[in-house]
Structure 1
Amino acid sequence: MKNKSFITSCLFSLAAVAQAQETPNIIFIYADDMGYGDLGCYGSKVNRTPNIDKLAAEGMRFTDFYSAATVSSPSRAALMTGRYAIRMGINDVFFPTSYTGIPETEVTMGEAMQSAGYYTGIIGKWHLGHLEKYLPLQNGFDEYFGIPYSNDMASAFFMRGNDVVDYHPKMDSITYVYTQEALRFLDQHHDKPFFLYLPHTACHVPLAASANFRGKSANGIYGDVVEELDWSVGKVLEKLDELKISENTIVIFSSDNGPWVVKGPMGGNPAPLFQGKVSVWEGGQRVPAIIRWPNKIKPQQVNTEVAAMIDWFPTLVSVVGGEIPNDRIIDGKNILPVLLGEGKRKDDEFAFVNYGQLQAYRAGDWKILLPEKKRKGSFWIEDVPAHDTLFFNLRKDIGENNDVKDKYPSEYQRVLEKMIVFKRTLKDVPPALIMLESNGLKMAANQQQEAIRQAREKGIKAKSK
């Protein structure tokens, strides 16, 4: 009996080892404010991106992939949870003055990976709250190094774990520092399943490149930054080869939203799309998306169907054998059948939710864009003329130039009905956190004024005595 038990134990141990070897590592590389047309594999003629292009050639490149928001924080919240950020009350970006962050009730990708036995790390921009309870270590990550919000915000600093370690990070070395941290992470944790989330600062303003890349591109400082980011991707891929774990590692590359076109040469290129960051025109949310998974995803794949950032949560959690919450709406779809060439996404729909409002909707080749008042150029966005409800066939009109609402009334009605059905799911969304912050600041100001009033009153009484 003892021998039988020993043999059974050995078989279980061998099965566990085999399962561990089959469980893929995952690296998610996230660019910031990168345009659809900023990579060679997406048509750029001015930015040299051989490493990212190679990644695309060795896996699958999406042509119709959407960020879940037009700006940073809601986009990242959606990636981490598989849910449109409006369901969390995250409709705007968090600032150094914010005292809110990703709700503690949300289940993040990091938490789901940890539950599946993964070691988790984030190196880079978090932007889901900078107070301790909102930071990565309290939201599913075993380690963290990076800037907790955007590099253009006041008092940008490096954190390691929950502690500030550098109050004066140099903008021209951030990509290099993140890359070295990523290589260290891989060296230290490659012997067990890991999830590495690598959200870069590039290509967000202020732009700065290291000496090895400064002035070297044909596209000014923006091109320098893109090419250094491509170098970083190359170093990560080299390290995977060196450690002999490339075959068992999923690598994903994407961007949190479209380019900040109002910045001119400091912003990215949305071509052939219209508009960029902050806009629900295609340039604001259609982004580069590439995935490589050797021996699972065939090389040279180009997928032209609708997919979105919210899909990564259910897909990757499914891949690692984790649990997807069933007590809340998960907007993303498991696209593993798409990646493996075994089927299609559950549906071909995507909602454009911008600053807490449903402003557009896509179903298949068709997109409805709701009416918009004239938008005068500002810090955020270029001029956009006023328009009524518009309807586009994106397959034939990627630049959204031709309204075909009157030409295809039945298709318009079909997509409109789908949009209405989706909107009904938003009836119970929580108050916007940014509004809570505003109200909280008003309350604090009122309390401060009351304290001043009471102090003055006490002073007057003291004088009268």
Structure 2
Amino acid sequence: MRVLLLDLDSTRPDHLGCYGYHRNTSPNIDRIASEGMRFDNYYTSDAPCFPSRTALMTGRFGIHNGVVGHGGTAADVRHEGESREFQSRLAGESFPALFRKAGMKTALVSPFGERHTAWTFYAGFNEIYNTGKAGMESAEEVTPVVLDWLDRNGGQDNWMLYVNYWDPHTPYRAPDSFGNPFENEPLPAWLTDEVFERHREMVGPHSAREINMYNNRDWPEYPRFLGELKDGGDLRRMVDGYDCGVRHMDDNIGMILDGLQKKGILDDTVIIVTADHGENMGELGIYGEHGTADQGTCRIPMIIRWPGLTSGTVDSGLHYHLDLPPTMAELMGRQAAPSWDGRSYAASILSGEDTGRDSLVISQCAHVCQRSVRFGDWLYIRTYHDGYHLFDKEMLFDIKQDGHEQHNLAAQRPDLCREAVYRLTEWHDDMMMSMDFDVDPLWTVMREGGPYHAKGHLREYAARLAETGREQYVEELRRRHPREPR
């Protein structure tokens, strides 16, 4: 058995052709989808990067594994304490350990452990190839490492290769020589002039006037990524920059597929395409960031091409990304690890059975502190720390009719908000009752001053708002964040 897992950082599904995007960003990913199963309602449980990958690799929600943010004590995997044995639980219960136990060689091509000093990310891998730029590498620096590994190891029967690409992550880094294949193609239809002008009036890090978090500085070395979106031309450059990153990455995925084909092993290799999170491109007024617990950030692609099983099919059920480890275990005839929180959806792949959940709870504590409930056609977002965005405490969106979250219906549908809060409370009770700790790490983040990327920056941001004629927002921001220095 051979397994290739492609982890495509910051890739949102609705910018891929196989998910209905109007631009030709992903012909090679589309090819994989045409030969496998595409999952349309697949979400990371915990966003963004470090929490998401920790949840996947441990098989556990952030509230259980302890990692929900990018700094402070909620940015380390929890110690097992007195119950720790000669080896920690991750030695045998990490996602890669599943393949090791099946007698497979495991290899990782990624700089992620170094980027976030996330050393637990390496648990279970035989071989680790750090591509060396802490997530700033472009695809042409990653692909040669992958092809070299496949040249040396691909002919073996039992391996799992995990490959991490970064091109859709800010700052969009497709090389100048790549050009812009989308310069004459329309933007997504929902990004109208009226919507963009409304976004220009919103505040917060990565809003249209502060793409560079708390200011509008450009990065000259990354011309596809702008510090501010002043007009429709800038908006086009932003979207085109993201899409060029996706297409450049996809071209490199095509090189890997060609390499597998030349070795005669493409047809019998399991290929999994997924991401750690998406990328807000206007949702909630945020551009070029993955900083909320919403559809733009937390919905991710999942495509599984398993030779001999279902092909060219779609699953519409609600699933977490941490459902992948138990799913792979069942498909491989192995036992799921006892600590895993996920639930197998192997029956969807094997027989088309509906294995989706009734609802999902998704979390974000690195840029804001939010927990959200995805149920039916609805997304309910509860905000505990707004990350200086002035979000309402409750937001409710009809994802079927308003997938880009432009109309908050919380005031009109208090009944649905109450249902969502009930679902959130039930989930929280289950989580707290099923762990050895009595601390929810979301509240650890709050007690430590707020999310890492929105802590201690209010004075700087208030000055920026005053400089740009938006003083009217400063008083409310200070009221909401009284612990911040003035």
- The answer to whether TM tops 0.5 is yes
- After superposition, residues 109-188 of structure 1 pair within 5 angstroms as 109-127=95-113, 134=120, 136=122, 139-147=123-131, 150-151=134-135, 171=137, 174-188=138-152
In structure 2, relative to structure 1, the CA distance for the partners of 1:368 and 1:432 (3 Å cut) is: closer
SS in 1 for 2:15: coil
Q: Residue 324 of structure 2 corresponds to which residue in structure 1?
A: 312
Distance, in Å, in 2 between the alignment partners of 1:230 and 1:56 is: 13
**Contact 1:102/1:134, CA 8 A, preserved across alignment:** no
- After superposition, residues 306-455 of structure 1 pair within 5 angstroms as 306-326=318-338, 328=339, 330-345=340-355, 347-355=357-365, 359-371=371-383, 375-376=387-388, 383=389, 385-400=390-405, 401=407, 403=409, 407=413, 409=415, 413-427=418-432, 428=437, 432=441
Q: Residue 292 of structure 1 corresponds to which residue in structure 2?
A: 305
Residues 339-375 of structure 1, C-alpha deviation per residue, up to 9 Å, x if partnerless? Answer: 2234222633211122286611123334332256665
SS in 2 for 1:151: coil
Distance, in Å, in 2 between the alignment partners of 1:54 and 1:287 is: 18
SS in 1 for 2:162: strand
In structure 2, relative to structure 1, the CA distance for the partners of 1:229 and 1:368 (3 Å cut) is: same
C-alpha deviation, 1:231, in angstroms: 1.0
Q: Residue 278 of structure 2 corresponds to which residue in structure 1?
A: 258
C-alpha deviation, 1:105, in angstroms: 3.1
Structure 1 unaligned segments of length 5 or more: list them. Answer: 1-23, 153-170, 262-268, 377-382, 440-465
Residues 133-153 of structure 1, C-alpha deviation per residue, up to 9 Å, x if partnerless? Answer: 6462xx11111112578435x
SS in 1 for 2:351: coil
C-alpha deviation, 1:317, in angstroms: 2.3
Q: Residue 302 of structure 1 corresponds to which residue in structure 2?
A: 314
C-alpha deviation, 1:213, in angstroms: 2.0
In structure 2, relative to structure 1, the CA distance for the partners of 1:321 and 1:430 (3 Å cut) is: farther
SS in 1 for 2:290: coil
Q: Quick one: which amino acid aligns to residue 333 of structure 1?
A: R
Residues 167-220 of structure 1, C-alpha deviation per residue, up to 9 Å, x if partnerless? Answer: xxxx4xx31232122222223223221111111122223332346524555364
**Contact 1:276/1:285, CA 8 A, preserved across alignment:** no
In structure 2, relative to structure 1, the CA distance for the partners of 1:404 and 1:133 (3 Å cut) is: closer
Distance, in Å, in 1 between the alignment partners of 2:95 and 2:21 is: 32
- Choose the corresponding residue for 1:196, options 161, 179, 188: 161
**Contact 1:349/1:364, CA 8 A, preserved across alignment:** yes
SS in 2 for 1:202: coil
SS in 2 for 1:240: helix
- Normalised to the residue count of structure 1, the TM-score between the two structures is 0.70
Q: Residue 3 of structure 1 corresponds to which residue in structure 2?
A: none
Q: Residue 251 of structure 2 corresponds to which residue in structure 1?
A: 231
Residues 199-245 of structure 1, C-alpha deviation per residue, up to 9 Å, x if partnerless? Answer: 11222233323465245553644333222200121122222222222
Distance, in Å, in 2 between the alignment partners of 1:296 and 1:229 is: 27
In structure 2, relative to structure 1, the CA distance for the partners of 1:135 and 1:37 (3 Å cut) is: closer
In structure 2, relative to structure 1, the CA distance for the partners of 1:303 and 1:149 (3 Å cut) is: farther
In structure 2, relative to structure 1, the CA distance for the partners of 1:347 and 1:132 (3 Å cut) is: closer
| Higher Cα Rg, which structure | 1
Q: Quick one: which amino acid aligns to residue 181 of structure 1?
A: V
**Contact 1:99/1:129, CA 8 A, preserved across alignment:** no
Q: Residue 22 of structure 2 corresponds to which residue in structure 1?
A: 45
C-alpha deviation, 1:40, in angstroms: 2.2
C-alpha deviation, 1:422, in angstroms: 1.0
Aligned length: 373
Does residue 279 of the first structure (1) align with residue 292 of the second (2)?
yes
The alignment yields a C-alpha RMSD, in angstroms, of 3.6
Distance, in Å, in 2 between the alignment partners of 1:298 and 1:193 is: 23
Structure 2 unaligned segments of length 5 or more: list them. Answer: 80-87, 184-238, 450-486
